[in-house]
Amino acid sequence: MARRRDGLPALRRLVEETTTPLALIDDQGRITYCNTALAELLGVAPDELIGQPCRQPLSETTSRAALAAAALAPPIGEAHLDSLRRDISLTLADGQLAVRRASFVAMASAPSEHADPSHTLVFIESEDRAAERAQYSDPLAVPDPQRLQLEVGRFRQQVAARYGIASLIGNSSAARRLRSQVEAAAASAAHVLVSGPRGSGREHVARVIHYGHSGAEQVRLITFEADALTPELLRSAFAELATRAENAPQTAGSILLCHVDALAAELQAVLEDQIELSGRGVRMLTTSEQPLEALASGEDFRTSLAATLGTVAVHLEPLTARREDIPALAQLLLEEHNAENGQRLGGFEPEAIESLTAYTWPGNVDELSEIVRAACAAAAGPLVRRADLPQRLRHGLAADARPPTSDEAIELDRFLEQIEEELIRRAVHQARGNRAKAARLLGITRPRLYRRVMQLGLEESDGHSS
């Protein structure tokens, strides 16, 4: 035993001096060791990497060390494998993005064949495989979970390194145009208007622009909803940022006003006055469902204020205009869910991806986020299946597959009756036949529920008489 201990310093020295980058990750997903070769490869000091969790939500101010740790996360959804080799995406010390082959070796702390791995050893090879991956990638194929994990990892490294977050993901022309607009807006100190349909992520994009321009946590961002704003709050915010601008111009900050198209006429006048008084000291970031010029032309918005707020305009497309981005977006949302909830889902089965891509997404990215989170909560295996997707998505797909023809009349009363019947059946089933509870679930009185059950002829079909 003593001889074995004597060999540990030599082993440690060997590991430290090897030119192969390597790291050790514990069962909680935290880096417990990295050698000098890895630290130099990533341009991060070892003491900054050690202790970093590999799975955590990336935010506007993600550090370089946290981004590096995210790239080293052991694969999920690959149960019962003692070792695995796969491609990962890394941001190197010089800021360049690279794809490297990594080996993940599970290490048990006890010599039992039933012992769960307590650590994972990660080796990174030196060859950049980005060109090879591009050569053999079929853009028309339904992407498998491993390919999606690599794509999300690549975008996390690439976009987070430039803007401080990792969610402006996608290869569609709309996604590329968005990143170009955001990059231009972040490089400017001008006022920015972010417009787009509901659920398209307008507030999130505005935050990307703020942190991309400032690049520091200490830069103030004051956020308001237009319908909750008062003249006093607005003046107070401008006064605070104006004072910060006088004392430390580089950390002054911005005001983010969401749903500016709902701003009352009185507040429009106050906002315009405050902007004029502050000069260049305060930057306005605003979001709107439609361009303000359209509102101004209809006299619902001050023309001069619309021109000021829209000095730089960023427009978001609906999700249906960038369907090819849906697989990668869904994978990104799944991995964020994993990090927030401690799940270890690896991705989606191809049938689930096909359903997500085919859906019409009236709620855009926000609805996609809700659907993915619900599917992750329902998933029992390592991958999300089509059956795990919420019923409303599957019903929506079925409705899309049977659109009414132009000559087909829609009987509105009967259509509404069918919806009512379905809601009543669901409520009675959920209440296990208890009519009083079913009425509470529906938000109606018990006598009204009885009347509708009798009128719709549901008394016999639901199997309950009391």
pLDDT tens figures, 68-106: 888 888 876 554 445 678 888 888 887 677 888 888 888
Domains in the chain, ordered, with CATH?
18-136 (3.30.450.20), 191-310 (3.40.50.300), 322-401 (1.10.8.60), 412-455 (1.10.10)
pLDDT of residue 321: 92
What are 444-459's pLDDT values in tens digits?
Answer: 888 888 888 887 777 6
Note the pLDDT tens digit of each residue in 199-228. 999 998 998 888 776 554 456 789 999 989
Whether 239 has a pLDDT exceeding 50, the answer reads yes
Q: Is the pLDDT of residue 425 over 90?
A: no
| pLDDT for 25 beyond 70 | yes
Per-residue pLDDT reduced to its tens digit, 346-396: 899 999 999 999 999 999 999 999 999 999 999 998 999 999 999 888 888
Confidence of residue 189 (pLDDT cuts 50, 70, 90): confident
Tens digit of each residue's pLDDT (9 = 90 or more) over 322-345: 999 999 999 989 988 887 887 888
| pLDDT tens-digit readout, 53-78 | 887 655 545 677 887 888 888 876 55
pLDDT the model gives residue 198 = 93
pLDDT over 70 (residue 270): yes
pLDDT in tens, 409-420: 666 777 777 788
- Write down the mean pLDDT value for the chain: 80
How far is 26 from 329, CA to CA, in rounded Å?
28
In this predicted structure, the answer to whether residue 130 has a pLDDT above a threshold of 60 is no
* Residue 401: band (very low, low, confident or very high) from pLDDT cuts 50, 70, 90: low
